[in-house]
């Protein structure tokens, strides 16, 4: 008797794959730990000490479920951004919120527009719900708002995705450029604005958009500037109708008590965020110096990583990356040509950057040899 579950045709057609190969997977394969973890754009500067204390206290209370309404955190986020709590939804990182959003809006066959080489987890969710992805190329090292809008005018998609600042290139557009996109969206198309790195970007990068504007949803996270990637706390700002719709599909107990307490304390400690911003700026400068000293071209970055052009093609960059990994440096690179001519290195503390500086020359020599 065949006891195989009766998967839907869509589920049966999908690969059982993980979009990212984690450093833990690579460590298990090699049998040794990385010396420097500089590939996932985590914050080696860590979370606020106040957040750590709040999470430690909450650990004794984990016999209780977290508040399914995330009331206190939503209220604090609303006050922080000058909006109302009904403009805020909290979820399991931006990745989790993207999954809920796609589930709410994308039916099999629906068009979705994004950039070729942009954040792949969004694509993973679209494929998982049967949407049809239409991709436009970057304009140099920047996502191309005009190309996205042109494709949207042709395809009339449910969603248009853009990240500002961008991952994997580290580039950014002025907020005014992003805000101007709204007036050119087709009727019924929602702009999905991923602002994961906005806390680390130059002034003027955040678009000035009313929270009640129904044409856009803005996604933010505690994973980058706040240094809490392992906690999985993200949030979105949007019009109340869309925010309320998340209650149709979200995991109402997805945010545990420790996560809620940690994020709330982190948000209240803006002094620590300023400290991390300064550390990231110093690390970006150091990474740029290391790249230049080794004949690589560092790209301007509005994030907590620096993307470095290796000067040749994708095969060469992949060889450089393999050389770094073999020498104990966890780094990553863009997936799609022509950006795969680059490697991408996260900001880190002095010890991690020194380890990268030591490993890079040998990795480059091996790739060139």
- CATH number of domain containing 95: 3.40.640.10
Let me know whether 53 and 123 are in one domain.
yes
Q: Which of 268, 295, 311 is the last residue of a domain?
A: 268
Residue 264: its pLDDT value, please? 98
Residue 22: its pLDDT value, please? 86
Residue 17: its pLDDT value, please? 79
Let me know whether 131 and 234 are in one domain.
yes
Q: Is the confidence at residue 20, as pLDDT, over 90?
A: no
Residue 18: its pLDDT value, please? 76
pLDDT band at residue 318, thresholds of 50, 70 and 90?
A: very high
Residue 166: its pLDDT value, please? 97
State the SS3 of 139-187: ECCECCHHHHHHHHHHHCCCEEEEECCCCCCCCCCCHHHHHHHHHHCCC
Residue 105: its pLDDT value, please? 98
Let me know whether 234 and 122 are in one domain.
yes
Contact between 347 and 287 (Cβ < 8 Å): yes
The structural domain count of the chain equals 2
Domain that holds residue 138: 49-268
pLDDT tens, residue by residue, 178-233? 999 999 999 999 999 999 999 999 999 999 999 999 999 999 999 999 999 999 99
* pLDDT cut 90: percent of the chain above it: 93
283 domain residue, yes or no: yes
pLDDT band at residue 263, thresholds of 50, 70 and 90?
A: very high
187 domain residue, yes or no: yes
Q: What is the DSSP string of 258-276?
A: HHHHHHHHHHH-HHHHHHH
59 domain residue, yes or no: yes
Let me know whether 113 and 91 are in one domain.
yes
d(CA 15, CA 204): 40
Mean pLDDT, rounded, for 267-282? 98
CB-based burial of residue 55 (10 Å sphere; 0-12 exposed, 13-18 middle, 19+ buried)? Answer: buried
Residue 343: its pLDDT value, please? 98
Q: Is the confidence at residue 3, as pLDDT, over 90?
A: no
Let me know whether 37 and 97 are in one domain.
no
Q: Is the confidence at residue 88, as pLDDT, over 90?
A: yes
DSSP 346: E
Q: What are phi and psi of 35, to 5 degrees?
A: -75, -40
pLDDT band at residue 269, thresholds of 50, 70 and 90?
A: very high
Residue 15: its pLDDT value, please? 87
pLDDT tens, residue by residue, 28-78? 989 999 999 999 999 999 999 999 999 999 999 999 999 999 999 999 999
pLDDT band at residue 16, thresholds of 50, 70 and 90?
A: confident
15 domain residue, yes or no: no
pLDDT band at residue 122, thresholds of 50, 70 and 90?
A: very high
Q: Half-sphere exposure of 195 toward its Cβ, with a 13 Å CA cutoff?
A: 24
- How much is the pTM? 0.95
* The total number of residues written for the chain in this structure: 369
Q: Which of 268, 287, 308 is the last residue of a domain?
A: 268
Let me know whether 223 and 100 are in one domain.
yes
Q: Is the confidence at residue 249, as pLDDT, over 80?
A: yes
Mean pLDDT, the chain, integer: 96
pLDDT tens, residue by residue, 124-180? 999 999 999 999 999 999 999 999 999 999 999 999 999 999 999 999 999 999 999
Mean pLDDT, rounded, for 318-343? 96
């Amino acid at each position: 008797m065949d006891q195989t579950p009766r998967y839907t045709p869509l589920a049966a057609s999908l690969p059982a794959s993980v979009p990212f190969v984690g450093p833990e997977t690579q460590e298990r394969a090699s049998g040794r730990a990385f010396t420097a973890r500089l590939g996932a754009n985590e914050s080696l500067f860590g979370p606020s000490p106040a957040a750590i204390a709040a999470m430690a206290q909450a650990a004794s209370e984990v016999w209780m479920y977290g508040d399914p309404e995330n009331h206190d955190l939503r209220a604090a986020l609303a006050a922080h951004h000058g909006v109302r709590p009904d403009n805020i939804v909290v979820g399991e990182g931006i990745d989790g919120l993207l999954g809920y959003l796609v589930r709410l809006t994308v039916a099999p066959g629906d068009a979705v527009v994004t950039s070729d080489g942009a954040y792949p987890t969004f694509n993973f969710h679209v494929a998982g719900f049967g949407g049809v992805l239409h991709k436009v190329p970057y304009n140099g090292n920047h996502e191309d708002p005009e190309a996205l809008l042109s494709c949207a005018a042709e395809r009339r998609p449910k969603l248009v995705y853009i990240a500002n600042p961008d991952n994997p290139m580290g580039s950014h557009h002025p907020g005014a450029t992003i805000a101007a996109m709204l007036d050119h969206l087709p009727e019924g198309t929602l702009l999905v604005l991923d602002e994961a790195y906005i806390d680390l970007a130059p002034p003027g990068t955040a678009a000035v958009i009313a929270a009640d504007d129904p044409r856009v949803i803005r996604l933010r996270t505690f994973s980058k500037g706040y240094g809490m990637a392992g906690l999985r706390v993200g949030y979105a700002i949007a019009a109340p109708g869309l925010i309320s719709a998340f209650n149709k599909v979200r995991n109402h107990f997805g945010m545990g008590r420790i996560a809620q307490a940690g994020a709330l304390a982190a948000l209240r400690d803006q002094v620590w965020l300023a400290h991390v911003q300064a550390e990231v700026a110093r690390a970006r400068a150091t990474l740029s110096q290391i790249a230049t000293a080794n004949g690589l071209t560092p790209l301007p970055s509005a994030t907590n990583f620096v993307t470095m052009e290796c000067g040749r093609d994708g095969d060469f960059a992949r060889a450089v990356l393999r050389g770094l990994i073999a020498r104990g440096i966890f780094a990553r690179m863009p997936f799609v040509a022509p950006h795969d001519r680059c490697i991408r290195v996260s900001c880190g503390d002095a010890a991690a950057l020194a380890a990268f500086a030591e490993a890079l020359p040998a990795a480059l020599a091996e790739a060139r040899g």
